[in-house]
């Protein structure tokens, strides 16, 4: 696999779907191991940081993918562990791999979660991107 510092490839809806699937797999794994969090309500899953900027402007380049899941902060459920970070391999793709990610076939995907306070109930619609 070719190694480059930052990929300039375009992030497509298919790529976002693949990242969302990685985040869903991570949530399922986490909740199966820590059932006290199983009632946590997902507010949104978002591509963040440098890759998100690249998705918007096409100029930043992609070093890695940061996928955040935001949970509703409610009294009956413990807050999602704020320092939890899990890393996955995006696998072989047009994005190549970062030279320092020796144990990966492709770009690293950092999956992060956070509980946030929601002032009121909002009817959420499904968005392709935020």
- Is 127 within the bounds of a domain? no
| Distance of alpha carbon 55 from alpha carbon 71, whole angstroms | 23
Residue span of the structural domain in which 49 resides: 13-116
Two tokens at 100? 């320092």
- Is 89 within the bounds of a domain? yes
Q: Is pLDDT of 5 > 80?
A: yes
| Distance of alpha carbon 121 from alpha carbon 130, whole angstroms | 19
| Distance of alpha carbon 11 from alpha carbon 18, whole angstroms | 11
- Residue 72's pLDDT band (cuts 50, 70, 90): confident
Residue 125: per-residue pLDDT? 55
In this prediction the pTM is 0.87
| Distance of alpha carbon 50 from alpha carbon 83, whole angstroms | 19
Give the strand pairing for 42-48 and 65-72. Answer: antiparallel
- Is 25 within the bounds of a domain? yes
pLDDT digits 0-9 by tens, 41-71: 888 999 999 999 999 999 999 999 999 999 8
Residue 129: per-residue pLDDT? 47
- Is 7 within the bounds of a domain? no
Number of domains into which the chain is organized: 1
| Distance of alpha carbon 84 from alpha carbon 28, whole angstroms | 15
Two tokens at 42? 């997902």
- Is 8 within the bounds of a domain? no
pLDDT digits 0-9 by tens, 86-121: 999 999 999 999 999 999 999 999 999 998 877 655
- Is 76 within the bounds of a domain? yes
pLDDT digits 0-9 by tens, 74-85: 777 778 887 889
- Is 128 within the bounds of a domain? no
């Amino acid at each position: 696999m070719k190694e480059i510092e930052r990929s300039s490839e375009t992030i497509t809806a298919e790529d976002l779907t693949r990242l969302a699937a990685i985040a869903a797999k991570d949530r399922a794994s986490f909740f199966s191991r820590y059932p006290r969090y199983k009632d946590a309500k997902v507010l949104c899953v978002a591509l963040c940081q440098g890759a998100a900027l690249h998705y918007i402007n096409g100029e930043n380049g992609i070093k890695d993918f940061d996928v955040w899941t935001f949970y509703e902060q409610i009294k009956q459920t413990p807050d999602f562990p704020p320092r939890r970070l899990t890393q996955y391999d995006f696998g072989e793709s047009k994005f190549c791999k970062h030279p320092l990610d020796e144990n990966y076939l492709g770009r690293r995907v950092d999956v992060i979660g956070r509980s946030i306070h929601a002032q009121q109930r909002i009817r959420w619609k499904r968005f392709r991107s935020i």
